[in-house]
Amino acid sequence: MSKPIAIIAGVGPGTGAAVARKFALSYPVALLSRNPATYDPIVADINKSGGKAIGISTDVSDSKSVKAMVEKVKEEYGNDVKCAAAVFNASGAFVRKPFLELTGEIMDSSYAGSVKGSFNFAQATLPLLLASTSTSPHPPSLIFTGATASVKGSANFAAFATMKFALRAMAQSLAREFGPKGVHVAHAVIDGVIDIPRTKEWDLGEGGKIDPNAIADAYWHLHTQPKTAFTWEIDIRPGVEKW
């Protein structure tokens, strides 16, 4: 029997890359992003250091693209491929705008990237996760990355918070539906700025940015929880953060 794999959507520098590297220590991984340039170096790294990774250019907002991704996963890892973990880390566009400056197009594309994307991803991966409940070393896990806006609708965040609340609702509903079936669904509220190249110049003081590797460690811990002790939600923030 082949080893179950991990599928990570939204792999760029930051959380996605860190999660990919962490899970690749234990599983073959498939890394998804629209732009191969974002996952190529990570795929190369993992394969060089003894792991097994493939990258698949995928637009999670497009169900056809997600289905094609599953086909490529099967080509690579076998038709009976099973999934030990699936992580949805595609953030969708970050939008901060006075409400009356938002457009229907912004709302639609926020919905597509975040809500529809997570929906497509969950629909594609849950059958592979359910298939591994009796064989995966840990309960198969479906983890969603959230943000401050998942639990707080701040002024000027109508588009972003709307979609993040929505994603959280989906994660909670799935946790209640699939927990009894042996799949661990979890949601992480990442409440702070992540330490990535794009935020390098931001001065948030000593310890003010979240180390993406710590997020990956937390996700791995969630994944290793036995079925008698599932965490549905964790929050993660710098100790110095105001909240």
Residues in region 156-175 near a copy of itself by CB under 8 A: 156-158, 161-175
Binding flag, residue 197, a copy of itself (CB under 8 A)? no
CA 222 to chain centre: 13
The mark string for 123-152 relative to a copy of itself (x by CB under 8 A, - otherwise) is: x--xx-----------x---------x--x
Candidates 35, 79, 100, 200; binder of a copy of itself (CB under 8 A) is: 100
CA-based nearest residue to 8, from 32, 27, 24, 28: 32
Which region, judged by CB under 8 A, interacts with a copy of itself, from 4-12, 41-49, 74-82, 219-227? 219-227
Binding flag, residue 67, a copy of itself (CB under 8 A)? no
Binding flag, residue 228, a copy of itself (CB under 8 A)? yes
Binding flag, residue 115, a copy of itself (CB under 8 A)? yes
Give the Å distances, CA to CA, from 237 to 2, 75, 142, 209.
37, 39, 21, 8
Phi, psi (rounded to 5 degrees) for 55:
-110, 140
Phi/psi region, residue 130 (left: phi>0; alpha: psi -120 to 50; beta: rest), is alpha
> What span, in angstroms and rounded, lies between the C-alpha atoms of 191 and 199?
15
Binding flag, residue 217, a copy of itself (CB under 8 A)? yes
